[in-house]
């Protein structure tokens, strides 16, 4: 039925069987906690990268071009603006990549949480099976006491008919 012996000898207390996968459950919980920390760190890194990209873009958009420049200064300003635009573009690409990485790490965390939840459900079912088996053993023991079979010897078990307990 469930693979666990319900009870040894009548009247003997039922032994609680330990959840055999408890070390695996603890490992899964540890993995979930580690994944949660990694997800938080990845989300923070993505937010920082997005902030830096926004700062670069804001600085580039608010930069003013001087009205009168010599030709060499004009070339230098244009080169600096081009470099700033390239830096802003690279920062935005990094922010996008960081956000994608954070999403992947969050998905790993979700998967770890699902594996942990599955193990916890398995443990709950194990505990329910044990409780059901224990209740059945207690009911059998009570029935044995009521019918008078608990005190009989093994030789009396061969008798096909029960002896009434009243005279």
* Domain contains 41: yes
Structure tokens at 102: 């954070």
Instruction: Count the domains in the chain.
Output: 1
* Domain contains 164: no
What's the whole-number mean pLDDT along residues 29-52?
Answer: 95
Please tell me the predicted confidence (pLDDT) of residue 85. 92
Distance CA 154, CA 146 (A): 18
Please tell me the predicted confidence (pLDDT) of residue 158. 54
pTM above 0.85, yes or no: no
* Domain contains 130: no
* Domain contains 5: no
* Domain contains 82: yes
* Domain contains 129: no
* Domain span holding position 106: 22-120
Determine what percent of the chain is predicted with pLDDT higher than 90.
55
Residue 19 has pLDDT above 50, yes or no: yes
Work out the end-to-end distance of the chain between its first and last CA atoms, rounded to an integer number of angstroms.
40
* Domain contains 161: no
Residue 120 has pLDDT above 70, yes or no: yes
Confidence of residue 71 (pLDDT cuts 50, 70, 90): confident
Q: Give the other-Cβ count within 10 Å of 123's Cβ.
A: 15
């Amino acid at each position: 039925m469930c693979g666990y012996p319900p009870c040894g000898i009548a009247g003997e207390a039922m032994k609680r069987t330990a959840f055999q996968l408890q070390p695996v459950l603890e490992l899964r919980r540890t993995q979930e906690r580690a994944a949660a920390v990694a997800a938080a760190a990845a989300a923070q890194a993505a937010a920082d990268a997005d902030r830096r990209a926004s700062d670069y873009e804001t600085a580039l958009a608010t930069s003013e071009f001087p009205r009168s420049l010599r030709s060499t200064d004009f070339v230098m300003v244009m080169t600096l603006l081009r470099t700033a635009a390239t830096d802003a573009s690279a920062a935005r690409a990094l922010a996008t990549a960081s956000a994608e990485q954070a999403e992947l790490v969050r998905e790993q965390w979700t998967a770890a949480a699902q594996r942990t939840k599955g193990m916890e459900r398995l443990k709950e079912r194990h505990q329910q099976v044990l409780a059901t088996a224990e209740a059945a053993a207690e009911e059998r023991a009570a029935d044995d006491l009521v019918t008078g079979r608990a005190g009989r010897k093994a030789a009396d078990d061969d008798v096909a008919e029960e002896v009434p307990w009243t005279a």
